[in-house]
Structure 1
Amino acid sequence: MGQFIISVGREYGSGGHEIASILSEKFNIPMYDRNMLDQMAEKNGIDSEELHKHEEMKHQGLHRTVRGHSSSIQDTIAQLQFDFIRNKAASGESFVVVGRCAENVLRDNPALISIFVRGDEEAKTERICRLYKLNKLEAKAKMFRHDKKRKAYHNYYSKMKWGDSRGYDFCVNSSLMGVEATAEALYKMISEFLKSKEQ
């Protein structure tokens, strides 16, 4: 089987991260998410917590941009992550990547299979309540906050809008069948697609 890269964009509470993790296990390929910052920090001798504070955020306020280079720490971290994804793709490795505008960063790469996971508000709220021991009001506030941040980040760095079906190969509502069954269905579809590419 040749190289393939699965990018997973997701609404908060949709279980997109868990789906990415299941796909990573089923295909036996690495998954890159927050852990890419840990790898970059280790390589460069930086405190990873400092990087995590600013990840998946568009830059805030006024920052100088000189010859296309921004002085914003958010921009610097975003570009480091984009370079990390490009380098992994260029190495020929197959992997799953969560968020980080990967479907935009790798949009010209023939190995890319892009997924966006959404969910019904009620199901997402219930999931967040369960995972984080929150009440419904707190869960909805957390969901709104995270999705607002993700959307702003994605739309700042990408040509396609966050969650716009035209920017992805597969858009799924995980609330219809649940996270595990959705992951299983995606695994089967991607497996069939990869088989058809080999013929």
Structure 2
Amino acid sequence: MSKKKYIVTIDRQFGSLGRPIAMRMSEKLGVEFYDRDIVEEAAKKLNLPVSKIDEIEESAKKKVHSNSFRRMMYPLGTQADDLQDKLFEAQENIIKFLAERESCIIVGRCSDFILADETNLLRIYIYAPYEERVKNCVNDLKMDETDARKMIRAVDEARDHYHMHYAGFLPNDQRFKEIMIDSSMLGTEGTADYLVDAVKMKFGLE
């Protein structure tokens, strides 16, 4: 495969299987993918334990029933305060460092906005019909259907709020995406294959 450096950013609706699709893409392309670990690196950079970020999330004004997926609701909490801004700045520096260092796939966290000036950049948005997302949450994430419906609404709202706050546009704004794809059309594996082919064609990879 060509050594040409490129960056893929992926924004996704909750329940659209964006994360597993990104993971499969990284395996097929032979590049790293980054998601939750960016937050953990930001915490280290600020000498904060990851539990401190969780504490911010705990005290966020928007709440749903506590469960293991709650972290997804608050990329770095929802408090628009000085600490969250510092966390975002640390995360921004980490994302830029990762993009400078090597080809990679970065999921969420305003990476499409942060890396907008990158030369070799492909910005993807993964979505799916609401009922398909509910089904995915129940079947793949083993969630109760009622909780799944609440979580979809809460996570979408929190991600949109976060992205608008720092990027100034919504994650599904087509002006800032090269590809928008319904993952229910081809499924996890098929969507990953389709997007990998698109990456290879765009960047002239062998």
CA RMSD of aligned residues (A): 2.1
| 1:87-117: CA deviation from partner (whole Å, max 9, x where unpaired) | 22233x1111000111111111112111000
Name which of structure 1's ranges 138-147 and 128-137 shifts more when overlaid on structure 2: 128-137
TM-score, length-scaled by structure 1: 0.85
Tell me if structure 2 keeps the 8 A contact 1:9–1:117.
yes
Tell me if structure 1 keeps the 8 A contact 2:12–2:18.
yes
Flag structure 2 segments of 5+ consecutive residues without an equivalent: 58-73
Separation of aligned partners in 2, 1:43 and 1:155? 25
Dislocated runs of 4+, deviation >4 Å: 42-45, 52-55
- 2:34: which partner in 1? 32
| Identical-residue share of aligned pairs (%) | 26
- Structure-2 change in CA distance of 1:161 and 1:45 (3 Å): closer
Post-superposition offset of 1:35: 0.9
Name which of structure 1's ranges 39-48 and 177-186 shifts more when overlaid on structure 2: 39-48
Match of 2:85 among 65, 75, 87: 75
Match of 2:79 among 60, 65, 72: 60
- Structure-2 change in CA distance of 1:18 and 1:60 (3 Å): same
Q: Does 1:134 align with 2:143?
A: yes
Separation of aligned partners in 1, 2:36 and 2:185? 27
Q: Does 1:144 align with 2:153?
A: yes
Tell me if structure 1 keeps the 8 A contact 2:10–2:125.
yes
SS in 2 for 1:129: helix
Q: Does 1:100 align with 2:102?
A: no
| 1:146-171: CA deviation from partner (whole Å, max 9, x where unpaired) | 11100000011113322112211110
- 1:67: which partner in 2? none
Separation of aligned partners in 2, 1:113 and 1:24? 14
Separation of aligned partners in 1, 2:29 and 2:110? 22
Flag structure 1 segments of 5+ consecutive residues without an equivalent: 64-70
Post-superposition offset of 1:42: 4.3
TM-score, length-scaled by structure 2: 0.82
- Structure-2 change in CA distance of 1:38 and 1:161 (3 Å): closer
Please tell me the residue identity of whatever aligns with 2:121: L
SS in 1 for 2:4: coil
Name which of structure 1's ranges 115-124 and 82-91 shifts more when overlaid on structure 2: 82-91
Separation of aligned partners in 2, 1:59 and 1:38? 17
Tell me if structure 2 keeps the 8 A contact 1:13–1:143.
yes
Q: Does 1:154 align with 2:163?
A: yes
- Structure-2 change in CA distance of 1:34 and 1:119 (3 Å): same
Aligned residues: 187
